Amino acid sequence: MGFNLTQKIIENHLLEGDMVAGQEIGIRIDQTLTQDSTGTMAYLQLEAMEVDRVKTKRSVAYIDHNMLQQGFENADDHKYIQTVTHKHGVYFSRPGNGICHQVHLERFGVPGETLLGSDSHTPTGGGIGMLAIGAGGLDVAVAMGGGTYYITMPKVVNVQLHGRLKPFVTAKDVILEVLRRMSVKGGVGKVIEYTGEGVESLTVPERATITNMGAELGATTSIFPSDEVTLDFLKAQKREDVWLELKPDSDAQYDEVLDINLEELEPLVAKPHSPDNVEKVSNIKNLKVDQVCIGSCTNSSYMDMMKVAKILKGNTVHEDVSLVISPGSKQVLNMIAENGALADMISAGARIIEAGCGPCIGMGQAPASGAVSLRSFNRNFKGRCGTITAGVYLVSPETAAISAIEGVLTDPRQCTMDMCIDMPKIFKIQDNMIVPPAKDGSVVEVVKGPNIKPFPINIPLPDKIEGKALIKVKDNITTDHIMPSNAKLLPYRSNIPYLANYCLTPCDKDFPEKAKNNNGGMVIGGENYGQGSSREHAALAPLHLGIKAVLTKSFARIHKANLINSGILPLTFTDHKDYDDVATNDYLIIEAADEQIKTGQVTVTNITQNKHYQMAIDVSDKELAILLAGGKINYMKQAN
C-alpha cells in the first residue's frame, strides 16, 4: 500500500510514534516563522529556555501585523524582535517587506520540508509542497531550540480536482466550495491533500490561496504536490535549486475523498459572520457595498494584483465605495509599480496601503457602522474588522474589484475582458529588507522596552480545582472573542497583564473583573471553542486571570494546544446536555484533579445544583505530563 504525500513528508521527519491516525507523533521541524503579533512572546519564551542559537535550517521573524506606530509600544516591540533574532540566529524581515506567508512562499519555502509558524495561516506554505503547520508561540520557540514538535497524527482527506476553472472563477472559489461542504470544523484533525488533473492548471499563488484558507476548515494543514508548476515558480524566484518533485504514490490511501469539478464552480461569497456561510454571488441581488479591501495573505500575490489592476484600468471606483488595496510583499509592490499596474489602481481611486496584514486583523480601515465590506481575506468573524455592526463578505479579488466599480456585489462573469495574466518568467529579486542574523550573537545587545512584561507561569496542577463558571459562551467562539487583537490592543501583545483586562469582553464586558473578584474560575464553551488565530494570548490572558479549566463541547486544535501549554485543563462534555444544564455563576469543583486527569475522565461537581458532570480529557502522555507540571515551561524545566 503506497503513501500519500502527507505521509511521505511525515515519515521523512518522524522522530517519535507511529503514523496511525489519532496517535501522537513527534516530528522534526526544518523551518519556523513568527510575526510581530505572536513573535514577541515566542522570543521571550526562547530566551527563557536559554537557547543560544536556533537549531532549525531556517527561522524567520516577520514584522507585518501592526506597523502603525501611534505610540512607543510597537516600535519597542519591533526593536526587541530585531535584536533578539539577530542574537539568536533568526532572519529578520523588516516592516514593509511584506506579509509573512507571502514573503516566505517567495523567498524561503522549500518543497518537502516542515514549517512551523506562530500564525494559523502558516499552511500557505503547502502551496509549494511544504508540510506547513500553525502553532502557538511556545511550540514554535521549542522547535527553534531544536525540540520535537508533537501532534496527533492526522487523517488525510484527498480533494480531487477535475477540469479547469472557467473565466472569473478563481482559487478563492475553490476553497469557499470546500468550506461550504466541510464547514469551519470539518477539517479538525485532518490534512487536506489536493490531487487530480485539475491541480496542473493552478499556479503556485492559486494553490497558496487554497492552502491558506484551509486554516478556516480547522485543518492541521493543506498541501499540494510539488511539480513542474512549482519548479517554474521557484525558477522565477531564482530558487530552483531547492525544488524537489513530490507526489503521492499511485496506490496511495486516504481516509476521505472529496471530488470537485472545477468546470462546475462559479463565483462564491462567504456571508457574515463565518467563512463557511457560503452562497453563489449570482444568488445575491442588489447588495449595496460600502467598502472593498483587497489583499491579505490569502489574495495579495503578483497575479492577484495584476488581475485587479486590469479590471480597474480606465474605470473609477463607485462614489459610495472606499477601495483599499494592500500588496502582499515588497516584491509585488515593486513589480506593479514598475509595470504601471499600481498607477492604474491609483487612477481608478484605490487607496494603497503598505505591504502588510492591516485591515485583515482589524488594524485600520474599519468600515462604517452597519456597513457592507467586501474583502478578499480569509476571515469574517463578527467584529474582527474593527466595527461590530459591519457585515464582512469574503470574495475573490476579481469579484471585489468589479463590485468596487459597480457599487453593489457583482458577479464578475458579467465582465467580458480577457483576464489571462502570465506568470512572470522572473520576479524582481531584492532581499535588502531581510536582515541576516549576526555571526556572533554574543556581541548583540537585546533591547527591551517598558511595554514588554514577563509572561505568566502557572503552578503545578493541585489536587483540587474549584471556582465559579464565570462565563458561558456558544459555538464557534474565536480567539478574537477570547483575546481581541484590534488596533487599540495589538500594541500591547507583549503585555499580558494589560491585555487580560480585555479578555472575553466581546462576550461579556465584565468578564475580567469577575475573574479578578472571584480569584479566577472556569469557562464554559460550545463547539469548536477557540477557532481562528494561533495567538497564545487567548490562553495566557485567561491564565493571568486565574482560569483553571475550560469546559466545552469541543476545541479548535491550536487553542487546545495553547491551553495545555499554559497548564489550563481542556475538558469536553461527555454528554452535551450537561453543557445546557450548567449555568453562569454555578460553583464547580474537581476533586483529585491531578489523579483524575490520568484516567482520561474527570468528574466535575456542580455544588450549586448538586449535580455531577462527566468530562473527557483527550491528551497524550506528554500533554498529561505538561498539565501536571502546570504548563510546558515548567515541564521543560523539570526535564532539564
Do residues 606 and 473 make contact, with C-beta atoms less than 8 angstroms apart?
A: no
Q: Do 564 and 476 fall within a single domain?
A: yes
Domain-located, residue 428: no
Domain-located, residue 427: no
Peptide bond between residue 273 and the one before it cis (omega within 30 degrees of 0)? yes
Q: Do 59 and 192 fall within a single domain?
A: yes
Element of type H or E holding 614: strand 611-616
Q: Which of 368, 393, 411 is the last residue of a domain?
A: 411
User: Helix, strand, or coil here: 327?
Assistant: coil
Q: Do 496 and 626 fall within a single domain?
A: yes
Q: Do 147 and 229 fall within a single domain?
A: yes
Per-residue confidence (pLDDT) for residue 454, from 0 to 100? 87
Q: Where are the alpha helices (DSSP H) in 328-466?
A: 330-338, 341-348, 397-406
C-alpha cell at 198: 485539475
Per-residue confidence (pLDDT) for residue 295, from 0 to 100? 96
547 backbone dihedrals φ, ψ, rounded to 5°: -70, 130
Is 535 tagged catalytic? yes
Q: Do 249 and 279 fall within a single domain?
A: no
The catalytically annotated residue of 30, 64, 76, 304 is 64
Please provide the DSSP assignment of 427-485 as one string: -----TTEEPPPS-GGGPPPP--TT--PPP---PPPS-EEEEEEEE--TT-BHHHHS--
Per-residue confidence (pLDDT) for residue 364, from 0 to 100? 87
Domain-located, residue 417: no
Per-residue confidence (pLDDT) for residue 534, from 0 to 100? 86
Per-residue confidence (pLDDT) for residue 380, from 0 to 100? 94
Per-residue confidence (pLDDT) for residue 485, from 0 to 100? 85
Ranges of residues in the chain with a pLDDT under 50 are: none
What CATH number does residue 547 fall under? 3.20.19.10
What CATH number does residue 320 fall under? 3.30.499.10
Is 557 tagged catalytic? no
Task: Give me the percent of the chain exceeding a pLDDT of 70.
Answer: 100
* CA proximity to 481, closest of 462, 446, 497, 505: 505
The catalytically annotated residue of 88, 101, 207, 379 is 379
For the chain, how far is it from start to end, CA to CA, in angstroms? 41
Domain-located, residue 155: yes
The catalytically annotated residue of 30, 76, 119, 578 is 119
Per-residue confidence (pLDDT) for residue 561, from 0 to 100? 95
Q: Which residue has the cell 449595496?
A: 288
Q: Do 232 and 96 fall within a single domain?
A: yes
Q: How far is CA 424 from CA 26, 121, 204, 236, 603, in A?
A: 39, 25, 12, 7, 61
Q: Where are the beta strands (DSSP E) in 201-346?
A: 221-223, 256-261, 268-270, 278-280, 291-294, 322-325
Is 64 tagged catalytic? yes
Rounded Cα distance, 505 and 508, in Å: 5
Q: Do 407 and 290 fall within a single domain?
A: yes
Per-residue confidence (pLDDT) for residue 308, from 0 to 100? 97
Cβ neighbours of residue 555 under 8 Å, at least 6 residues apart?
528, 529, 530, 563, 570, 572
Per-residue confidence (pLDDT) for residue 550, from 0 to 100? 98
Domain-located, residue 56: yes
Q: Do 477 and 535 fall within a single domain?
A: yes
Neighbours of 316 (CB within 10 A): 11
Domain-located, residue 196: yes
pLDDT tens digit sequence for 499-513 = 999 999 999 999 999
Per-residue confidence (pLDDT) for residue 522, from 0 to 100? 98
Is 18 tagged catalytic? no
Domain-located, residue 562: yes
Neighbours of 526 (CB within 10 A): 17
The catalytically annotated residue of 533, 534, 554, 566 is 533
Per-residue confidence (pLDDT) for residue 400, from 0 to 100? 98
The catalytically annotated residue of 28, 535, 537, 544 is 535
What domain range includes position 316? 268-411
Q: Do 204 and 319 fall within a single domain?
A: no
Long-range contacts of 197-200 (CB under 8 A, 24+ apart): 197/161, 197/162, 197/163, 198/160, 198/161, 198/162, 198/163, 198/164, 198/260, 198/262, 199/161, 199/224, 199/225, 199/227, 200/227, 200/229
Q: Do 179 and 328 fall within a single domain?
A: no
Q: Which of 264, 296, 317 is the last residue of a domain?
A: 264
Element of type H or E holding 319: none
Q: Do 475 and 596 fall within a single domain?
A: yes
Q: Is 80 exposed, middle or buried (0-12, 13-18, 19+ CB in 10 A)?
A: buried
Domain-located, residue 451: no
Report the domain count for the chain. 3
Q: Do 619 and 518 fall within a single domain?
A: yes
Q: Which of 240, 264, 288 is the last residue of a domain?
A: 264
